Amino acid sequence: MISYVTVGADDIPRAKRFYSAFLRALGYELEEGPEGLSYALPERPDQPAVSPAFFVKPPFDGCPASAGNGAMTAFQARSQQEVRNLHSAALAAGGRDEGRPGFRAAYGAHFYVGYLRDPQGNKIALFSNNPDEPGRDG
């Protein structure tokens, strides 16, 4: 099980504006500290282990942050409409469009996804795979 994901950022306030635009809507809580941002889903006693935490921090080596070529972090939304809403909110908060929300031929019939780049250039996917919603072929 993945415990956490960390991306680097040189401008933490800008990264906070971007990530808070959609992570809070997905239920993540934000904790800020001198070393950056920590987003985590709240733990509930009636649930098994929660999904991985997501950290946004300046690189520990002191060098400028850079996006990983081929690296991407995906966040699951509850519906296709939520994917569209969160994709728009993230764009308005300083993200760059990397693929408008929609179906992709390479994925399952219900996999609905939108892609973004955060202000630092890290690739983010927002997706829904809800079988109760219309699929690519219907």
Q: What local confidence, expressed as pLDDT, does residue 83 receive?
A: 98
Residue 64 lies in a domain: no
Residue 43 lies in a domain: yes
Q: What is the CATH number of the domain that holds 42?
A: 3.10.180.10
Residue 55 lies in a domain: yes
Q: What local confidence, expressed as pLDDT, does residue 12 receive?
A: 97
Q: What's the rounded Cα separation, in Å, for the pair 87 and 108?
A: 20
Copy the structure tokens of residue 20: 């808070």
Residue 65 lies in a domain: no
Q: What local confidence, expressed as pLDDT, does residue 49 receive?
A: 67
CA 100 from centroid of its chain's CA atoms? 15
Residue 18 lies in a domain: yes
Residue 9 lies in a domain: yes
Q: What's the rounded Cα separation, in Å, for the pair 138 and 132?
A: 12
Q: What's the rounded Cα separation, in Å, for the pair 94 and 15?
A: 8
Give the pLDDT of the chain (138 residues) as one tens digit per residue. Answer: 678 999 999 999 999 999 999 999 999 999 999 889 999 998 877 777 667 899 999 999 999 999 988 899 999 999 999 999 999 999 999 999 999 999 998 999 999 999 999 999 999 999 999 999 999 986
Domain count, the chain: 1
Residue 136 lies in a domain: no
Residues 97, 116 contacting (CB under 8 angstroms): yes
What string of DSSP letters covers 46-109?
TSSSPPPEEEEE--TTSSPP-PPTT-EEEEE-SSHHHHHHHHHHHHHTT-EEEEEEEE-TTS-T
Residue 41 lies in a domain: yes
Query: What's the domain range around 37?
Result: 4-59+71-128
